[in-house]
C-alpha cells in the first residue's frame, strides 16, 4: 500500500461529487485561489491542515486544488476545497501537454496561488503564469528534517493567514463507516491493525516481523486485522489474523480503509500511506522505519502516533515492537 499509487476504487461507479465540486458563476467572480499539491498520498495528508486553514481564511473565495491525476477522486471529497483540477504531470519536455494545462489555469484568473509543492515543475508553472498577482511558495529542502506541515504553517503565517490547523491534519472526512464491514468479518471492537506491506518496489521498507507479531498478539488475546493493498494479498494471508477485503474479494479503497483505521485500538505499520493515514486520524500507533528516510521529515509523529527507526529493519526484534504496543494500548 504505497503512498505513490492510489488504492483501487471500492465500486465501479464514482462517488457523488463534492457539493461544491463544480464552480458556479458567482464563485468564479470572487477572485478564485489555487492550491498546488500534487501528491503522493502521504503528502496530501500532510497538507490537510493547511487546506483547512486556507478554507477558513478564504471563506468567500472559490478554492481550486491542483493535484496529480490519480488523486482527484480522493480529494474531490475534501471539504476544504471547492474543486479539484487534475494535473497529468506530463514530462516537462512535452510542452504541448503542459501548455494545455497552463492555458486552463490562466483562463481561470486565479488571484493567488499557494504552491505547497515547491518543486521544479511548479517553478516552471510560475514562470509561465506571470500575470498571477500573488504566488506563495513552500520552501523546505528535502534534507531539512522539517515536516512539510510545519513548512506550510510558516508559509501561511508569512502570508498573514491565521494558522490553526496546518500542524494538525485531520482527514476524518475520508473515513466511511466500517461498522458493517467489521461485524461481517467477525472482528471485535478492540482490534489491532497491522500494515505489513508497501509498494513492491519498496521492499526495503517492509519489516519482516509482522507475522510473528500477529501470532504473539493473538496468543495474548488481541484480535489482529490486516487490510491488504493490490500487491499484498499473499503477504496478508500469511499472517494469523483477519484479512479484510470487499465481499467479492476485491480490495478496500482509501475511504473504507480510513473507516477501519479510525476504529482501531492500535496500528503498527511500515512507512507507507495507510500508516500515515492512521497517524493523521489520531489513532494510537507505531511506525517502523529503516534508514531509507528521516522519521522527523515525514512528520508521522503526531498525537498518539510514535515511530521506531533502526538502521536495518530486518534486525528489529519482534519483542521490542510488542513491548511498545502493549505499553501503549489504551486498554492494555
Q: Which residues of the chain have pLDDT under 50?
A: 1-23, 27-29
Q: What is the model's pLDDT at position 238?
A: 86
**Full 3-state SS string of the chain:** CCCCCCCCCCCCCCCCCCCCCCCCHHHHCCCCEEEECCCCHHHHHHCHHHHHHHHHHCCCCCEEEEEEHHHHHHHCCCCCCCEEEEECCCCCCCHHHHHHHHHHHHHHCCCEEEECCCCHHHHHHHHCCCCCCEEEECCCCCCCCCCHHHHHHHHHHHCCCCCCCCCCCCCHHHCCCCHHHHHHCCCCCCCEEEECCCCHHHHHHCCCCHHHHHHHHHHCCCCEEECCCCCCHHHHHCCCCEECCCCCCCCCCHHHHHHHHHHCCEEEEECCHHHHHHHHCCCCEEEEECCCCCHHHHCCCCCCEEEEECCCHHHCCHHHHHHHHHHHCCCC
Question: Domains along the chain?
Answer: 25-169 (3.40.50.2000), 173-328 (3.40.50.2000)
Q: What is the model's pLDDT at position 199?
A: 67
pLDDT in tens, 256-307: 999 999 999 999 999 999 999 999 999 999 999 998 888 999 999 999 999 9
Q: What is the model's pLDDT at position 176?
A: 97
Q: What is the model's pLDDT at position 331?
A: 66
Q: What is the model's pLDDT at position 193?
A: 98
Q: What is the model's pLDDT at position 17?
A: 40
pLDDT in tens, 161-191: 999 999 999 999 999 999 999 999 999 999 9
Phi, psi of 275 (to 5 degrees): -65, -40
Q: What is the model's pLDDT at position 290?
A: 93
- Rounded to two decimals, the pTM is 0.86
Q: What is the model's pLDDT at position 3?
A: 34
Amino acid at each position: 500500500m504505497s503512498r505513490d499509487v492510489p488504492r483501487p476504487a471500492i465500486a465501479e461507479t464514482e462517488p457523488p461529487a463534492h457539493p461544491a465540486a463544480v464552480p458556479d458563476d458567482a464563485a468564479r467572480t470572487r477572485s478564485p485561489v489555487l492550491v498546488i499539491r500534487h501528491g503522493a498520498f502521504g503528502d496530501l495528508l500532510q497538507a490537510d491542515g493547511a487546506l483547512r486553514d486556507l478554507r477558513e481564511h478564504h471563506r468567500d473565495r472559490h478554492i481550486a486544488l491542483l493535484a496529480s491525476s490519480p488523486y482527484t477522486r480522493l480529494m474531490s471529497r475534501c471539504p476544504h476545497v471547492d474543486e479539484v483540477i487534475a494535473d497529468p504531470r506530463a514530462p516537462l519536455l512535452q510542452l504541448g501537454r503542459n501548455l494545455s494545462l497552463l492555458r486552463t489555469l490562466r483562463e481561470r484568473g486565479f488571484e493567488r496561488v499557494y504552491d505547497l509543492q515547491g518543486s521544479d515543475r511548479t517553478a516552471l508553472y510560475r514562470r509561465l503564469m506571470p500575470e498571477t498577482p500573488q504566488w506563495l511558495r513552500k520552501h523546505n529542502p528535502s534534507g531539512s528534517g522539517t515536516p512539510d506541515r510545519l513548512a506550510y504553517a510558516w508559509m501561511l503565517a508569512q502570508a498573514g493567514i491565521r494558522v490553526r490547523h496546518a500542524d494538525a491534519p485531520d482527514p476524518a472526512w475520508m473515513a466511511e463507516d466500517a461498522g458493517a464491514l467489521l461485524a461481517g468479518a467477525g472482528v471485535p471492537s478492540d482490534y489491532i491493525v497491522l500494515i505489513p506491506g508497501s509498494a513492491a518496489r519498496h521492499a526495503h521498507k517492509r519489516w519482516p516481523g509482522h507475522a510473528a507479531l500477529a501470532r504473539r498478539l493473538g496468543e495474548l488475546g488481541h484480535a489482529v486485522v490486516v487490510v491488504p493493498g493490490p500487491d499484498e494479498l499473499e503477504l496478508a494471508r500469511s499472517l494469523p489474523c483477519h484479512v479484510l477485503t470487499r465481499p467479492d474479494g476485491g480490495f478496500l479503497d482509501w475511504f473504507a480503509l480510513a473507516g477501519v483505521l479510525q476504529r482501531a485500538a492500535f496500528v503498527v505499520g511500515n512507512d507507507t500511506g495507510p500508516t500515515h493515514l492512521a497517524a493523521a486520524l489520531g489513532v494510537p500507533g507505531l511506525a517502523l522505519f529503516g534508514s531509507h528516510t528521516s522519521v522527523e521529515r515525514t512528520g508521522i509523529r503526531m498525537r498518539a502516533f510514535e515511530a521506531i527507526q533502526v538502521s536495518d529493519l530486518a534486525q528489529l526484534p519482534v519483542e521490542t515492537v510488542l513491548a511498545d504496543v502493549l505499553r501503549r494500548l489504551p486498554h492494555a
